[in-house]
Amino acid sequence: MKLLLTGGTGFIGSHTAVVLSQAGHELVLLDNFSNSKQAVLGRLETILGHALPFVQADVRDTAKVTQALQTHGIQAVVHFAGLKAVGESVAQPLNYFANNLQGTLSLLQAMQAAQVHQLVFSSSATVYGEPQYLPLDEQHPTSATNPYGRTKLHIEEMLHDLSASNPAWRIACLRYFNPVGAHDSGLIGEDPNGIPNNLMPFVVQVAAGIRPALQVFGNDYDTPDGTGVRDYIHVMDLAQGHLAALHFLNAQTGWHAINLGTGQGYSVLEMVKAFEAASGKPVAFNIVPRRPGDVASCYAKVDKAQALLNWQASRGLPQMCEDAWRAQQRNMPSTT
């Protein structure tokens, strides 16, 4: 199929581009580089052996997105583009509403104008709010605890209404748990600007000597070792989930919400130990108070993805850590 990937040079978009291209799809990437670098395109070319067509644009530029869809004869869109930092969203909600909500609305208008009705959307486990039971299945009530989460929830609801308005739409909202790791070449990976908000990139930077110590946010949770438990999923497994979702949508109309996780939770201290083993480097840490808004545990029930997509994650924690470390070692964050 001919596919447009918005946010295609970002962390998850670039890894998904590798998987989709290697599966034989024809891709066009679109990004405004607000949180990624042009150098990713060269790295994708090295991995794939050929360049991918690229459009530098903001998804809010409806005319330019429409033109990209029409010029390239696009049949389906995978929509990664958006802002994703929870703390920043609390400080700058309008920026999040503009990028994520307005951006998605613009994309949908462009898709409607170009008669493209197949969409895979990057949603998040954040739409479940505070877990009322575990593991989280897709029937769990949804809610938002911060502006970022609210944008994901609103977008899911917009997409639901849209699919009800016209049976031509085929929409999958993929609710990601905690993507980590990198492509095994080490050429692409997670490249956060400034101080990482998320655990894994922070741990990587401590092991690499870039930061002195990890702050572990609380060790008094109701979990086996007191630290927070999350469902970490290798980004290449997540990427393969998109391939499976596109295949699923070729045979299914309507709106579908599907968890992409492993179903297995690991604590912060288990992550630190696994990373030390993979990298051979010590990861110093201090226990500090809980981070506001964090929950004790969050992990997925993955039966729906297995049943509908015939997909499940296959890469374990050691590989997540080894691949993240290799990307660091290959100096992935540089723009060279």
Q: Which residues are catalytic?
A: 148
- CA-to-CA distance for 193 and 205, rounded, in angstroms? 12
Question: Of these partners, ligand UDP, ligand NAD, none, which one is at the site of residue 276 (CB under 5 to 8 Å by kind)?
Answer: none
Nearer Cβ to ligand NAD, position 148 or 248? Answer: 148
Binding pattern for the stretch 258-277 against ligand UDP, x by CB under 6 A and - elsewhere: ----------x---------
**CB neighbour list of residue 93: distance below 8 Å, 6 or more residues apart:** 147
Which of 267, 260, 257 lies closest to 242, judged by CA? 260
Q: Does 36 bind ligand NAD (CB under 6 A)?
A: yes
In the chain, DSSP assigns E strands to 2-6, 26-31, 54-56, 76-79, 118-124, 170-176, 178-180, 214-217, 229-230, 232-234, 254-260, 266-267, 285-288, 297-298
Among 99, 142, 262, 267, binds ligand NAD (CB under 6 A): 99
Q: Does 60 bind ligand NAD (CB under 6 A)?
A: yes
Q: Does 84 bind ligand NAD (CB under 6 A)?
A: yes
CB 321 within 8 A of CB 277: yes
Among 11, 96, 169, 202, binds ligand UDP (CB under 6 A): 202
Binding pattern for the stretch 249-288 against ligand NAD, x by CB under 6 A and - elsewhere: ----------------------------------------
Helix (H) or strand (E) run with residue 319 in it: helix 317-329
| Contact positions with ligand UDP (CB under 6 A) in 160-189 | 178
Amino acid letter for position 15: H
- CA-to-CA distance for 165 and 173, rounded, in angstroms? 17
Q: Report in angstroms how near the CB of residue 32 gets to ligand NAD at its nearest.
A: 4
Q: Does 230 bind ligand UDP (CB under 6 A)?
A: yes
Q: Does 103 bind ligand NAD (CB under 6 A)?
A: yes
CB 317 within 8 A of CB 324: no
Q: Does 291 bind ligand UDP (CB under 6 A)?
A: yes
Q: Which residues contribute to the site for ligand NAD (CB under 6 A)?
A: 6-7, 9-13, 31-36, 58-60, 80-84, 99, 103, 122, 124, 176, 178-179
